[in-house]
Amino acid sequence: MQQPRYWFPAKRYGWGWGPPSSWQGWVVLLVFFALLAASAYVFLPAQRIAAFLVCTLVLAVVLMAICAVKGEPPSWRWGK
């Protein structure tokens, strides 16, 4: 039986996910940063801070949801 191929492995120390381990994970991360930069361009933080913060929050929630679905199940880790 094959083990699932995770896009985002769990961190060695602490809780959460580390850097991507597959090209799909890197694409997700690059798209996240591109959309974050685009939102900074569209919603200039100096002029429309609330809209920029809402957009950033939505992007972060979507990224965490993708990590939860395609990443290794997170748990507190103390290293190996």
The parent domain of residue 27 ranges over: 20-71
**Distances from the Cα of 42 to the Cα of 14, 20, 48, 69, 74, angstroms:** 35, 28, 9, 29, 34
Rounded average pLDDT over 36-63:
93
61 pLDDT above the threshold of 90 = yes
Residue 53 in any domain: the answer is yes
pLDDT at position 53 is: 94
pLDDT at position 80 is: 67
Categorize the per-residue pLDDT at 1 as very low, low, confident or very high, splitting at 50, 70 and 90.
Answer: low
Q: How far apart are CA 55 and CA 49, in angstroms?
A: 10
Mean pLDDT of the chain: 90
- Number of folded domains in the chain? 1
Residue 28 in any domain: the answer is yes
pLDDT at position 75 is: 83
58 SS3 class: helix
Other residues' Cβ atoms within 10 Å of the Cβ of residue 35 = 16
CB contact at 8 A, 69 and 6: no
